[in-house]
Amino acid sequence: FQNKYCFWNQLFENWLISCFSQLLVQKVIKNGNLFNALFLKFSGARDSLYRLSLEGLTKLEKAEWPAKQDKISLCITKGQSEKDCRNFVKVLVSHNDQLLACGTYSFSPKCSWRPIEAIRQVTEYVDGRGKCPYNPRANASAYMNRWT
């Protein structure tokens, strides 16, 4: 598949994933200058995060973030569907050079702080209650002010 705007092989490899839940476009300013080449796009999906380029949506980095099996089992035992008992990333917020990502984590919300340019690294995990919905079908909006 190809059209005049993009080639399929230039798109990030998981183009069939249908569970993208959040999108964050981050502009990077270094030394007081805005660098267009450093505009970054982040996408949250089921059990993973992606850092994508704006031009061509090429995958720059993928971070796996599945819920642990014991959380999935407990979630199913409590009557939720196996499909919903995963980690759906619902909140993506940037703060300086860090990314706060929050997921449903099998109906037990969890957040992580990650460096913007290395999203596979986790600098800190925090409780996601009050920051992220429990249910993957719930809508979420997030805002972080400079004092947070």
Reported as a single tens digit per residue, the pLDDT across 1-60 is 333 323 333 344 454 454 455 566 555 555 554 443 344 566 777 898 888 777 766 788
The answer to whether residues 102 and 88 touch, using CB atoms and an 8 Å cutoff, is no
Whole-number Å distance between alpha carbons of 131 and 119:
19
Whole-number Å distance between alpha carbons of 21 and 19:
6
The answer to whether residues 24 and 41 touch, using CB atoms and an 8 Å cutoff, is yes
Question: Where do runs of H (alpha helix) occur along 5-146?
Answer: 69-77
Please indicate whether residue 41 or residue 116 has the higher confidence score (pLDDT): 116
CA-wise closest residue to 43 among 66, 56, 67, 59: 59
- The DSSP code for 5 is S
Q: Is the pLDDT of residue 76 over 90?
A: yes
Structure tokens at 130: 């009050």
Structure tokens at 32: 């007081």
Q: What is the mean pLDDT of residues 49-75?
A: 87
